[in-house]
Structure formats: C-alpha cells, structure tokens
Amino acid sequence: MNTTLSFTHRFVPASAEGEKPLLLLHGTGGDENDLLDLGRALAPHSALLSPRGRVLENGMPRFFKRLSEGVFDEADLLAQTKALAAFIAEAREAYALEAPLAVGFSNGANIAASLLMQAPNCLAGALLLRPMQPYRVRPQFRLNSTPILMLSGAFDPIVGKVNVDGLAEAFTEAGADLRYETLPTGHALSQMDLTIAKEWLSEHGRA
C-alpha cells in the first residue's frame, strides 16, 4: 500500500515491456487490492495502478457519493473525477508510466466512464464491466477512436439495458472505437467477461 500520492493505492511494476499499464478501479466495498488478481490475469506483464476510492458509504470505499441505488451525487462525481485525473497524472510522473487503460467494475466502471467524458486525455482506453451512465445530462466530449470495451449483464438487477445502451450511444457519438456486449449473466463477473476482456486487451493493450 502506498499513501505518498493523493490516493492510497497499490502499484505493481511491469514485468516486461510492450503492454500498456492498467488502471484498476474497484467496485463498492473494494479497495486497492481488490482487482490486482484480475489485472494480472488479464495482462500478465502490464504495470498495475490500483487506487482506493476516497468516499465511504457505510464504511465501504467508493469512488464517489450516491444519493440512492443508481442515483449519483453528480457534483461529488465531478469533483472526484477531477481528483482521480490528477492522481493519474501524479502516478504517471512518479512511476514513469504512459497513459493507462482503465479496468473498472461497477462503481469503478462508472467513474472510468466519467473520466472518459471529463478528462479523456488521461486514459488510453477503458474496459468497463457493468457500467451505467454517470450523468443524467450528457456532457459534451470527444473521443478520437479511443478503444472502449463495455460488458453488461442481461440479468443485472442493478443496471438496466436502456441505461447501458444510452452510455454506448454516447461513446459512439463521441467517436470512440467501441465494442459493447450484453452477456447472459448478472452483475457479478463471469468467465465470459474474462475471456472477452483478455481477447480485447490482446488487441488494444499493446504499448
């Protein structure tokens, strides 16, 4: 655990050259250790940067506040997005990293989506696992062929299909290189998620 930068985080150096670093963004109740195994499984040789969300909800870390299930505190979301973008810049300088690919699950996927909208230059792309639209009113943003993989669950009780379809539409209209799939699963990750994510990273995770 590292506390010298603006977010408590874990950093795992690359074990070989040629792969983009991964920014690992956990879901509600996770921490900086939560997605390390997933990151290593997806990209065995990449550097891993894994911050802990700075907001607590009933003692559980998150990346931003929410008012209720599926209803975000958008002022806090924007503030935390800017803070996370600043941390990415700090970490890139501290660890000599190029722009990372975000790998976000649930709450982590949502702040990654916000980063793509509010600070698109800080990411090289994103793998969004069970994301939803971060803003009720879509901000104006451009993504110049930024690679994005979105994986949603057909039986997800938390995120509705209309919501995710709207997010996919926003990324497409902004010019992203988007791959969007709905899998026959719920909110939890499945082996299908891992298989598709590894395939996508083999194409888009090269430095």
Question: Can 193 be counted among the known catalytic residues?
Answer: no
| pLDDT for 205 beyond 90 | no
Q: Identify residue 157 by its one-letter amino acid code.
A: P
Residue 27 lies in a domain: yes
Q: Identify residue 127 by its one-letter amino acid code.
A: L
Q: What pLDDT is stored for residue 39 in this prediction? A: 97
Question: Can 156 be counted among the known catalytic residues?
Answer: yes
Catalytic-labelled residue, pool 6, 76, 187, 190: 187
pLDDT over 70, % of the chain: 100
Q: What pLDDT is stored for residue 206 in this prediction? A: 83
Catalytic-labelled residue, pool 152, 156, 193, 204: 156
Contact 7, 52 (CB under 8 A): yes
| pLDDT for 68 beyond 90 | no
Residue 2 lies in a domain: no
Range of the domain at 142: 9-204
Question: For 157-195, what is each residue's pLDDT tens digit?
Answer: 999 999 999 999 999 999 999 999 999 999 999 999 999
| pLDDT for 3 beyond 80 | no
Question: For 106-148, what is each residue's pLDDT tens digit?
Answer: 999 999 999 999 999 999 999 999 999 999 999 999 999 999 9
Question: Can 31 be counted among the known catalytic residues?
Answer: no
Split at pLDDT 50, 70, 90, the class of 27 is very high
Between the CA of residue 49 and those of 104, 151, 191, what are the distances in Å? 12, 21, 23
CATH code assigned at 85: 3.40.50.1820
Catalytic-labelled residue, pool 26, 34, 46, 106: 106
Number of domains in the chain: 1
Q: What pLDDT is stored for residue 71 in this prediction? A: 86
Mean pLDDT of 79-97: 97
Residue 165 lies in a domain: yes
